[in-house]
Amino acid sequence: MALAINVSSSSSSVISSSSFPSSDLKVPQIGSLRLLDRINVSAASLSLSRKRSSVKALNVQSITKESMVASELTEKLDVVEVEDFEELANRLENASPLEIMDKALEKFGNDIAIAFSGAEDVALIEYAHLTGRPYRVFSLDTGRLNPETYRLFDTVEKHYGIRIEYMFPDAVEVQALVRNKGLFSFYEDGHQECCRIRKVRPLRRALKGLRAWITGQRKDQSPGTRSEIPVVQVDPVFEGLDGGVGSLVKWNPVANVEGNDVWNFLRTMDVPVNTLHAAGYVSIGCEPCTRAVLPGQHEREGRWWWEDAKAKECGLHKGNIKENTNGNATANVNGTSTVVDIFNSENVVNLSRQGIENLMKLENRKEAWIVVLYAPWCPFCQAMETSFDELADKLGGNGVKVAKFRADGDQKDFAKKELQLGSFPTILVFPKNSSRPIKYPSEKRDVDSLTSFLNLVR
């Protein structure tokens, strides 16, 4: 899908033709994004420069210009990689949303995009427009949005002179869900499966093409899950362009702003908003899962109202779930704290202590098994939930069982002694013809990496 760099009309004069390496401007794409001004330095030259920097040269002339340039670039890259975003969040805690937005766009350029839901996130676009910097906007089209939301998308594009980068769910997955369970299965078995297919996975694909993203999260939106979000953080759930834990930065410019103040800003700036707001809709998602709220009700009560949900989240911001003093992830519902479990795909087998002991005793298994040893409060376990659930759905009926074993609490000593648990998550593969499990050694926990390892050892 071709994407365009979204530039507000008032800022177009900021970009001159000398800003780009050539006049042949290529359109970036989420999922395969390339910086226009990024200098390409080979891994070999970077490695060479590191080795030479640790040895005193006998002949200064022997140091080539290429290695000197590579060494300088390496030092600059290292500075970016080790930036303390927690310290940056503290410095920006009392900054205005405009200042935070400007810092985000300045720091990440074309590697950052605004997540626009069709609700009051239009405030983010207005702030980006006011900075005068180029900016990008993407949105998740689940196929179940309200007509009013689609009309707002068109109005926003025309108002700001931009093109929103739409991400769509996988048609085969949606087709399978609807054929097997019908159009409204979420009313019976919960919204998580539908949200995972229509929202979480498309978001995951979008973020794999970025190094940072901008959200409209506010602390007052959901006291149970969003009350402690910082203005900038290393994303605890999703992966960015470089892959792996810590490869994506999440900016929340309006984290400290109250809902009334956001609306005062929108009215003052006279920007387009979703007409559903005038009908009592505050938090707007998909049409079947969103309704108006009554005066005095919290805005999140209009989402998934049929569920006695542990946390009113669809999975896009799962990292908001807080840890209590015992190290358990909790969400506050009606004043009570409950442990929120993860890896809940119907294709993931939940192993008890007895179950995993029996699995260890089997020497000639009919199927290979892949098991994650996890703790639901662990942010690294939460970060791989989507990919592990996706792996389970992919391998269903293909001769591999995908399972989970909760290895914290009373089971931690057993897991350390018998299951090679070092840290959470630990992933084990039980081959068909081996009694001893093989520990997955890499921190790359995406579907392709896990599948490749399985194919080598199963």
Query: Can you give the three-state secondary structure of the chain, one letter per residue?
Result: CCCCCECCHHHHHHCCHHHCCCCCCCCCCCCCCCCCCCCCCCHHHHHHHHHHHCCCCCCHHHCCHHHHHHHHHHHHHHHHHCCCHHHHHHHCCCCCHHHHHHHHHHHHHHHEEEECCCCCCHHHHHHHHHHCCCECEEEECCCCECHHHHHHHHHHHHHHCCCCEEECCCHHHHHHHHHHHCCCCHHHHCCHHHHHHHHHHHHHHHHCCCCEEECCCCCCCCCCCCCCCCCEEECCCCCCCCCCCCCCEEECCCCCCCHHHHHHHHHHHCCCCCHHHHHCCCCCCEHHHECCCCCCCCHHHHECCCCCCCCCCCCCCHHHCEECCCCCEEEEECCEEEECCCCCCCCEEECCHHHHHHHHHCCCCCCEEEEEEECCCCHHHHHCHHHHHHHHHHHCCCCEEEEEEECCHHHHHHHHHHCCCCCCCEEEEECCCCCCCEECCCCCCCHHHHHHHHHHHC
Identify the pLDDT of residue 364.
76
Active site residue 378: yes
Report for 8-17, 38-47, 293-302, 354-363: range of highest mean pLDDT: 354-363
Q: Looking at 286, 289, 314, 381, which residue is catalytic? A: 381
Identify the pLDDT of residue 313.
47
* Stronger pLDDT, 182 or 365, i.e. the higher one: 182
Determine the average pLDDT of the residues in 4-10.
Answer: 44
Active site residue 381: yes
Does residue 404 carry a pLDDT above 50?
A: yes
Determine the average pLDDT of the residues in 338-351.
Answer: 82
Q: Looking at 195, 289, 314, 378, which residue is catalytic? A: 378
Tell me: the pLDDT tens digits for 418-453? 999 988 999 999 988 776 889 998 888 888 889 888
